[in-house]
Amino acid sequence: MANTGTTKAPSTKGIFAASFIGTSIEWYDYFIFGTAAAIVFPRLFFPDASPEAATLASLSAFAAGFLVRPIGAAVIGHFGDRIGRKSMLVMTLLLTGGSTFAIGLLPTYAAIGVGAPMLLVALRLVQGFGVAGEWGGALLISTESATPGRRAFFGSFAQFGVPIGVLTSNLAFLFVAGMNDEDFFSYGWRIPFLVSALLVIVGFIIRLRLSESREFQQIKEKKAINKVPFRELLRNHPRNLILASLAAIAPPAIGYAVTVYMLSYGTQVGYTRNTLLAIILASTSVWILAIVVSALLSDRFNSKLLYAIGAVTAVIWPFPMFALVNTGTTGGAVVAFLVAAIVQGIMAGAQGGLFTELFDTKVRYSGISIAYAIGATVSGAITPAFPALYLSTGSSNAVAALITGLGVVSLVAVLGVKRIIPPTPVPEPDAVPVTTEP
């Protein structure tokens, strides 16, 4: 008997809600840790160290979340390729949101001593494990149900979550940053973490109502599910897995330099905490606009080309960015962060469409999740090197050189990837859609 209705694609509205809102919540959870790592945790969890050493230790705790991301991506990707995209998206939301809420309840070093930073790192590891499978699932729910010629645009729904996460996490900290220091460091910093529980409930309800992606439903109906997706991934797609992992390094390298390290470095140059948060907040609108424009251009022309253009800007911008911040002027920082937002947006807008085209549907969740996680792990694990380089050289040029080097790696890698699934052409406005379905 013919199967009726089982491959019906979810609505565009439902895809957008599940990808954009859910991913925004998860990245909110993730970025409030980064913000707190720069302005709160050094004082409350590493008080016995010098300010510089405390900042380094705090950023190391931030980086710890990246160590488990390849493992989380492999595990969640495995079940995402076997069970489905939707169920994994629900699980990642609970893992990330639950650990974030628990961080808001943690006792500090003053209360329990060395146990406090140990618990902080443990919860960061859980957070990192959960978020490792988030991007891949949210992306595939979108791209695998995209209309013809709109793969990158649909993929951009998941990409919006990163700047929105930065926006909302900074708004949350701006809300409490107006407190006096005693109240802020006593309980104010906990509020952004505890609020995440309400956001997770919203995301949970949205994702429970979501349908499975169209392409995954089709291979499931054909009984084409692979028992060990990771093995097939290594056997059939080793080149793209390696190159996609390297290509994924540049966007988070620029992102963490601005949203995490600059919150610490900027105060040394003379900016106030609130000024830096406000500028980063303002830059997110440019970031989102750049994602949309890049996604539309990727669908119209070539996602690989757009990503390579973004990687070129990632190579060029770090030195001017630090030079502008080093002026100590608000205008300089605004230009530095706004252009950095464009750099990230160009690559993010093209990334969803490009990465979807690099792997077969049967191993796609594993492939894109592992590649994305490895790229983010390299960038995130290097974040503590930023203050270390600055302390050892006394110059921001060493930090800029490191970020530029990561951009070069991504540029060379993206030029070498080979798409195994051709992009679908954008239909002409008056064209009649062609379908192969009976």
Residue 233 burial class via C-beta count within 10 angstroms: exposed 0-12, middle 13-18, buried 19 and up: buried
Distance CA 62, CA 38 (A): 9
- Give me the pLDDT at residue 297, please: 96
Distance CA 373, CA 367 (A): 10
Helix (H) or strand (E) holding 332: helix 330-356
> At 299, which amino acid appears?
D
Distance CA 75, CA 59 (A): 26
For 5-146, where are the E strands, in sequence order?
none
- Give me the pLDDT at residue 425, please: 62
Distance CA 52, CA 42 (A): 9
Query: What are the distances in angstroms from CA 206 to CA 24, 104, 193, 210?
Result: 13, 24, 21, 7
- As a 3-state breakdown, the chain gives helix, strand, coil percent values, each rounded to 5, of 80, 0, 20
> At 405, which amino acid appears?
G
DSSP for 421-437, please give it: SPPPPPPPTTPPP----
Distance CA 345, CA 338 (A): 10
Distance CA 367, CA 417 (A): 13
Query: Which residue in this structure is represented by tokens 């489905």?
Result: 84
Distance CA 214, CA 142 (A): 9
Handedness of CA 323, 324, 329, 334 (dihedral sign): negative
Instruction: For residue 293, count other CB atoms closer than 10 A to its CB.
Output: 16
Q: Contact 155/351 with Cβ under 8 angstroms? A: yes
Instruction: For residue 433, count other CB atoms closer than 10 A to its CB.
Output: 7
Return the DSSP state at 8: P
The CA angle 415-418-420, to the nearest 5 degrees, is 155
Q: Contact 400/237 with Cβ under 8 angstroms? A: no
For 150-271, where are the E strands, in sequence order?
none
What is 12-416's CATH topology?
Growth Hormone; Chain: A; (1.20.1250)
Q: Along the chain (438 residues), what's the average pLDDT of each consecutive run of 10 residues?
A: 45 73 80 84 89 84 86 94 90 90 94 93 92 88 84 87 84 84 90 89 84 85 87 93 96 88 87 86 91 94 94 97 95 96 95 92 94 89 84 91 96 94 61 42
How would you classify residue 428: left for phi > 0, otherwise alpha for psi between -120 and 50, otherwise beta? beta
Return the DSSP state at 212: P
Q: What is the pTM of this model?
A: 0.84
Closest CA to 311 of 274, 260, 350: 350
Distance CA 200, CA 271 (A): 33
Q: Contact 296/304 with Cβ under 8 angstroms? A: no
Instruction: State the number of CA atoms in the 13 A half-sphere of 260 facing the CB.
Output: 30
How would you classify residue 5: left for phi > 0, otherwise alpha for psi between -120 and 50, otherwise beta? left
Distance CA 248, CA 242 (A): 10
Instruction: For residue 142, count other CB atoms closer than 10 A to its CB.
Output: 31
3-state secondary structure of 277: helix
